[in-house]
A and B are shown apart, each in its own frame.
Chain A
């Protein structure tokens, strides 16, 4: 009898909790840019955007996307891309240049792989940052990142769970292994959190919107 009462309680709690989460997310009024920094507000914004605008993510608004000249790049450079429908801030993707025209590719439907630099050619805007560290250390960060290939990409993973990755977390971890902090310390690590990292801006290219 007591077990049945607990089961009834849980069975009611289940749909109720899902409805409450959706209502909580639906009442989000925070702007798309800049996204909220606090853990709770960002979670709410992320759920709301994923539920109600998730199908727009990844769509470029550019007729001719931004391109990067590989000759400017060195292994370990942080490449950050913007598309207008990114789920979690102005900058929607971050990756590392691995050298020889290769970048680390982190994608929810492919996992973690490597890809040609040309695979980044669907962003409207690209920013390349070079952390303030010796070239050998940056190359080591790129080398470390290669071991993530085949690993689990999971956007909902805990930010300190180092067995599952997001794009920004993999970049942060590659440099953290070298003793270099490149993120700004917010709980949910996003590409935006890598932009203020100390170091030089190697390139900042824009796609062409005028041709649309």
Chain B
């Protein structure tokens, strides 16, 4: 489980760097974002990634994978809601963590919610929303998986069936 969540964390770091490099071009930024969404769905389904784990371990794996984002999101939420007067570097870390989703965040409505730009609220809850959404997707597909399973052996003609 640590192996899978660690590997997913490394993939996310690589994607953060790649999406940052692609971000000057809007088309490439969206391509990076959609590729990351597709990759995330594949690892959620695939039996050799999250799809092969029991349900509770899948949830735990998702939480471990998103732990930096969840911690930064919680800190940002506390900062935005003025429950905590911590350093604003938590927002910086959160925005870095969410770099692959940056094109989605730029589509957030303009204006203010509680004196704060809406994209900041959305960014703060995004890691938790991602864990929830992927956990539910993974549960809905429980028993399935993208990698082919061995089909049940068919009795050959003439072989007695038990």
Segment 113-130 of B: residues with Cβ below 8 Å from A:
115-120
Q: Which of A128-136, A158-166, A200-208 contacts B (4 or more CB under 8 A)?
A: A158-166
CB of B111 within 8 Å of the partner chain: yes
* Interface flag for A72 (CB, 8 Å): no
B contacts, CB < 8 Å to A = 2-7, 9-11, 13, 20-21, 23-24, 26, 29, 48, 79-80, 86-89, 91-92, 95-96, 99, 102-103, 105-106, 108-112, 115-120
Binary interface encoding of chain A residues 25-40 relative to chain B, with 1 for a CB under 8 A from any of its CBs, else 0: 0000000000000000
Cβ contacts under 8 Å, B20 to chain A: 156-158
Interface residues on A, range: 35 or more
Chain B interface helix/strand/loop/mixed? helix
Scan residues 89-134 of chain A and give those whose CB is less than 8 A from a CB of chain B. 108-113
Given A13-B10, A111-B119, A161-B29: A156 and B88 interface contact (C-beta under 8 Å): no
Contact A154:B102 (CB < 8 A) given known A111-B116, A149-B110: yes
Residue from B95, B112, B115 in contact with A154 in the complex, judged by beta carbons closer than 8 Å: B95
Partner of B79, one of A6, A17, A109, A158: A109
Q: Give every chain B residue within 8 A of A9 (Cβ-Cβ).
A: 7
Chain A residues lying within 8 Å of B91, measured Cβ to Cβ, are 108-109
CB distance from B47 to the nearest CB of A (A): 10
Task: Evaluate contact between A15 and B6: CB separation under 8 angstroms.
Answer: yes
- CB-based nearest A residue for B98: A154
Determine the distance from Cα of A200 to Cα of B95 in the docked complex, in whole angstroms: 36
A150 contacts the other chain (Cβ, under 8 Å)? yes
**Chain A interface main SS type:** mixed
* Chain A residues whose CB sits within 8 angstroms of the CB of B116 once the complex forms: 109-111
* Cross-chain contact of B117 among A4, A8, A112 (Cβ < 8 A): A112
- CB-based contact A6/B99 at 8 Å: no
Q: Which of B2, B13, B26, B86 has the most CB atoms of chain A within a 10 A radius of its CB?
A: B13
Are A150's CB and B110's CB within 8 A?
A: yes
Tell me if B89 and A50 are in contact (CB < 8 A).
yes
User: Is A137's CB within 8 Å of the partner chain B?
Assistant: no
Give the CA-CA distance A44 to B42 in the complex, in Å: 35
Interfacial chain A residues near B2, Cβ < 8 Å: 11
Q: Quick one: given A110-B115, A111-B117, are A163 and B3 in contact (CB under 8 Å)?
A: no
Kindly list chain B residues whose C-beta atoms are within 8 Å of the C-beta of A14: 6-7, 9-10, 13
Cβ contact within 8 Å between B7 and A161: no
If A111-B116, A156-B99, A164-B23 are given as contacts, then 9 extra A-B residue pairs at C-beta distance below 8 Å, sorted by A number, are A11-B3, A12-B6, A17-B10, A109-B80, A110-B117, A111-B117, A149-B110, A154-B102, A164-B106
CA of A193 to CA of B48, assembled, Å: 50
Q: How far is the CB of B144 from chain A (nearest CB, A)?
A: 18
Provide 26 A-B residue pairs closer than 8 Å at the C-beta atoms, listed in order of the A residue. A7-B3, A7-B7, A8-B3, A10-B6, A10-B11, A11-B5, A11-B10, A14-B7, A17-B13, A50-B92, A54-B87, A54-B88, A108-B92, A109-B80, A110-B120, A112-B117, A150-B111, A150-B118, A151-B110, A152-B106, A156-B20, A156-B96, A157-B95, A161-B29, A163-B29, A163-B102
